[in-house]
Every structure is written in structure tokens, then in C-alpha cells.
């Protein structure tokens, strides 16, 4: 009798790549067509506006799922270090590039100059001392340090060099918290306790923000508690935990439904805290519906059969998923600058849109190829020739086709 060969690893599922790519490109289109014109009104001639805000939250749902999936494999300290090694090197390079481009492009758009000398040119204020001559902000050295050290969410007056960067400190906080909980408190590993943790991540931030603090509390500490600790996004990770439990038959379908309804409600309240009694915001319904549909797709990817209908497109989705973190880091503020340059050159919105999408993909590919994968490989290289534990990527963190982590979903960010 011949034995059937045993596969050493499961075949790659295209469904996770599709969900990740859809989420990232929803962020991309929303920033280009809606947030860009909102921040810079002269960029408002695109053929449509994508006002729905759900892509980044979906990426965090996926991240929560794969935290549960991978933290049990290998050493916890190495698991945590792999996440840090994936996140930080491309982020640092993206911050440096964005700072330089924003500084010189903003000054050029505002017709400003810098004081002589290399320090004044790179880090000092403009010659007139004004950073906000128009909607184009000219950052200084202080802004660079704040963004490099991920302190933006702790003070409402700190400037985000790129609005997309808010996900990075939240990701690192969740990864660090998960590592400490898993390594230091074994009693949290039970099914019932994991369910309570998921519900706690939904309910406690709502209670703190809307009951303890109050929506319109102007105190600086209130802003730091909500946004510095990432309380406004913990519900997304709760959804990931719940979906993972459900996919392992450790949470019933009815229970998961109640949890996801609570997650959608929390997403709505955190995104539109001033409109609790005013459901007229035109972006509110598309955001909630988009988030709900994407949660269903995540559930289908987690427990359902693979989406074999899309198998012919697998190479495209796999490649895009693999560079999605780089795309996420470089598409927003740099895209606004490129859009302004194209506008000044007379390029209409319907032509600018595909150019900006293509530019974001190319920039993301370059950052992934030149920085993310080499840095990750070098930082996680074992000291001895011992196979590293198999991990799966998460949220904004695509795995590389070579190296310890495979590219299966996507985290990041």
C-alpha cells in the first residue's frame, strides 16, 4: 500500500489576501478622493468621493485574528520581536521621507524659504516663522521627533506627518499587551476568559470615553487616555478575537453575532461621537455598512472554504497583499503632494486618480523590497541554524515570500 503524501503546510488561502487588499485600497481611495480634498480643497475635482471609513478598522480586525492564531506558536518574546521588526524599520524610513517631502513641498507651495545653514534648512522654521500659511503645513524638527517616537496620540497639538500613522502605536500597544498577557497570565488562556476579554475591549473603552471622561472633555489628559491608549480602536481587535474563537468552535454563531453588532455600534460611536443624536452625517451610513460587510467577509475567510473562483487572480492579490503595508505607509501625505503637483501641471481629477493609485503601489513595492523585507530578515535571523517558529502575518504586516513569516494573511501598519 502506498501512503498518501502528507502536506507539510496548508495551501495558501486567497481569501485572506483579497480581504486585506480590499481593506487597504478602501483606505487608499478614501484618502485620495475624500480626505485629500477635505484637507486641501483645491484637490476636489475627482470623479467621485469615497466617504466610507472602515478599511483601517478591518485591518485591525484581521490583526486581532492573527494575534490569536500565531501567539501560541514558538516563544512569546520572539513572536513580539518579529512584529516589531516588521513594523518599525519601514515606518522610520517612511517618516523620514514624508518629513523631507512635506517640508520642502509645503514651503514651495506657500512660497516660503528657510534660513541659511543646513540645520535651519532641514529642521528650523521658515524665514517668516509661519508653519500654516495655507493648508500645506511645513513641519520642523520637533514634528520629526514626535513622529519617530510615536507620540502623536498623546497630545492633540502634536502634528501627524501622515494621518495614516495613527495605527502604528495602536498596533505596537496591542502586540505588547498580547505578549505580556500570554506569557505572564496563563489564566487568560481559557475560552471563557478570552470571550470576556473580547467583550471588555468593546465595553470598557466606551464606558471610559463616554461616561467617565465625557465626549467634550477639553482636558489634555482626556485626549491622551482615549487616543494615546488607542481606546477608540480596541473594538476592532475584539472582533478579531471573537472571529478566531468562532472559527475554532469556541464561540457560538449567536454569540459572535451579538459581539459583532456591538463592535459595529462601537465603531459608529467612536467615529462619530458628536452625532449620536444626529444620524445625518453622509459618511456615517456608508462607513457602518462597509464595516459590517467586511466583517462578514473576514468571517468567510476565517471559517469558510477558500474563494477558488478568484484563484486565477491569486498572483495579483498575493503580490498586492505582500506590499500592502508599504502602500499604507506612503500613500496619504505623499499622495497629496503628488496630487498638487499634477494639479499645477493641469492634470484633471479623473486622470490624477489612477496615477495616484499607481504611484502608491510603486512606492509601497519599493519600501517593501528595499526596506521592510531586508530589515525583517536581518533583525529576525536566528543566531543558530534553528528553524524559526511559523507565524502568520497580521493587519498591516504582510509576510515576505522568503524568511521566517509567510505571506498569508494581512496588520499595520
Per residue in 251-299, pLDDT (tens digit) is 999 999 999 999 999 999 999 887 554 556 778 899 999 999 999 999 9
Question: In the 3-class helix/strand/coil scheme, how is 333-390 assigned residue by residue?
Answer: HHHHHHHHHHHHCCCCHHHHHHHHHHHHHHHHHHHHHHHHHHHHHHHCCCCCCCCCCC
Q: What's the rounded Cα separation, in Å, for the pair 280 and 58?
A: 24
Q: Are 398 and 409 in contact (CB under 8 A)?
A: yes
What lies within 8 Å, CB to CB, of 277 at 6+ separation is none
- Residue 44: helix, strand or coil by DSSP? coil
Exposed / middle / buried, residue 375 (Cβ in 10 Å: 0-12, 13-18, 19+) = middle
**Residue 3 DSSP label:** P
Reply yes or no on whether the pLDDT at 310 is more than 60. Answer: yes
pLDDT of the residue at 1 = 33
Q: What is the pLDDT of residues 150-209, one digit of tens each?
A: 999 999 999 999 999 999 999 999 999 999 888 766 655 678 889 999 999 999 999 999
Q: What is the pLDDT of residues 318-349, one digit of tens each?
A: 999 999 999 999 999 999 999 999 999 999 99
Q: What's the rounded Cα separation, in Å, for the pair 188 and 197?
A: 8
Q: Look at the block and give the residue holding cell 540645520.
A: 119
The rounded mean pLDDT for the chain is 88
Give the CA dihedral 121, 90, 59, 151, nearest 10 degrees: -50
Q: What is the pLDDT of residues 215-239, one digit of tens each?
A: 888 899 999 999 999 999 999 999 9
Q: Are 174 and 63 in contact (CB under 8 A)?
A: yes
- Own/partner contacts of 35-39, CB < 8 Å, gap of 24 or more, are 35/163, 35/332, 36/335, 36/336, 36/339, 39/135, 39/336
Of 376, 366, 386, nearest to 411 (Cα)? 376
- Residue 175: helix, strand or coil by DSSP? helix
Confidence band of 115 (pLDDT split at 50, 70, 90): confident
Q: Are 273 and 215 in contact (CB under 8 A)?
A: yes
What stretches of 208-252 show up as alpha helix (H) in DSSP? Answer: 220-223, 234-247
Q: Is the dihedral of CA 100, 102, 108, 112 positive or negative?
A: negative
Taking each continuous run of H as one helix and of E as one strand, the counts in the chain are 17, 0
The secondary structure element, H or E, covering residue 233 is: none
Length of the chain: 413
pTM metric for this prediction: 0.88
Q: What's the rounded Cα separation, in Å, for the pair 63 and 54?
A: 14
Q: What is the pLDDT of residues 21-49, one digit of tens each?
A: 999 999 999 999 999 999 999 999 999 99
Of 146, 153, 93, 143, nearest to 123 (Cα)? 143
pLDDT of the residue at 11 = 67
Question: Exposure string (b/e) for 255-282, b if CB count within 10 Å is 16 or more?
Answer: bbeebbebbbebbbbbbbeeeeeeeeee
Amino acid at each position: 500500500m502506498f501512503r498518501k503524501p502528507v502536506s507539510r503546510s496548508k495551501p495558501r488561502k486567497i481569501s485572506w489576501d483579497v480581504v486585506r487588499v480590499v481593506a487597504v485600497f478602501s483606505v487608499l481611495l478614501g484618502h485620495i478622493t475624500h480626505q485629500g480634498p477635505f484637507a486641501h480643497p483645491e484637490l476636489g475635482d475627482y470623479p467621485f468621493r469615497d466617504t466610507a471609513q472602515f478599511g483601517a478598522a478591518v485591518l485591525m480586525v484581521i490583526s486581532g485574528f492573527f494575534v490569536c492564531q500565531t501567539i501560541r506558536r514558538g516563544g512569546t518574546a520572539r513572536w513580539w520581536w518579529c512584529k516589531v521588526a516588521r513594523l518599525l524599520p519601514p515606518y522610520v524610513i517612511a517618516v523620514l521621507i514624508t518629513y523631507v517631502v512635506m517640508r520642502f513641498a509645503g514651503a514651495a507651495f506657500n512660497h516660503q524659504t528657510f534660513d541659511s545653514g543646513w540645520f535651519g534648512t532641514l529642521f528650523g522654521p521658515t524665514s517668516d516663522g509661519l508653519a500654516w500659511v495655507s493648508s500645506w503645513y511645513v513641519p520642523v524638527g520637533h514634528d520629526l521627533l514626535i513622529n519617530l517616537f510615536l507620540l502623536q496620540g498623546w497630545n492633540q497639538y502634536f502634528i501627524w506627518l501622515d494621518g495614516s500613522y495613527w495605527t502604528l502605536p495602536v498596533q505596537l500597544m496591542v502586540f505588547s499587551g498580547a505578549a505580556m498577557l500570554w506569557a505572564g497570565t496563563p489564566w487568560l488562556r481559557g475560552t471563557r476568559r478570552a470571550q470576556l476579554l473580547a467583550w471588555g475591549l468593546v465595553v470598557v473603552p466606551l464606558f471610559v470615553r463616554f461616561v467617565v471622561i465625557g465626549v467634550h472633555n477639553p482636558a489634555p489628559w482626556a485626549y491622551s487616555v482615549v487616543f494615546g491608549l488607542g481606546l477608540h480602536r480596541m473594538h476592532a481587535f475584539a472582533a478579531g478575537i471573537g472571529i478566531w474563537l468562532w472559527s475554532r468552535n469556541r464561540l457560538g454563531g449567536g454569540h459572535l453575532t451579538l459581539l459583532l453588532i456591538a463592535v459595529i455600534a462601537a465603531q459608529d460611536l467612536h467615529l462619530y461621537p458628536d452625532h449620536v443624536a444626529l444620524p445625518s452625517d453622509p459618511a456615517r451610513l456608508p462607513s457602518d455598512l462597509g464595516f459590517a460587510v467586511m466583517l462578514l467577509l473576514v468571517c468567510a475567510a476565517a471559517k469558510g472554504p477558500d474563494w477558488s473562483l478568484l484563484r486565477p487572480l491569486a498572483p495579483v492579490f498575493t503580490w498586492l497583499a505582500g506590499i500592502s503595508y508599504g502602500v499604507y505607509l506612503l500613500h496619504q501625505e505623499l499622495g497629496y503632494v503628488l496630487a498638487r503637483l499634477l494639479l499645477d501641471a493641469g492634470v484633471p481629477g479623473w486622470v490624477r486618480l489612477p496615477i495616484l493609485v499607481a504611484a502608491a503601489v510603486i512606492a509601497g513595492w519599493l519600501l517593501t523590497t528595499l526596506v521592510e523585507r531586508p530589515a525583517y530578515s536581518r533583525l529576525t535571523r536566528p543566531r543558530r541554524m534553528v528553524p524559526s517558529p511559523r507565524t502568520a502575518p497580521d493587519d498591516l504586516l504582510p509576510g515576505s515570500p522568503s524568511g521566517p513569516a509567510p505571506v498569508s494573511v494581512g496588520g499595520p501598519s
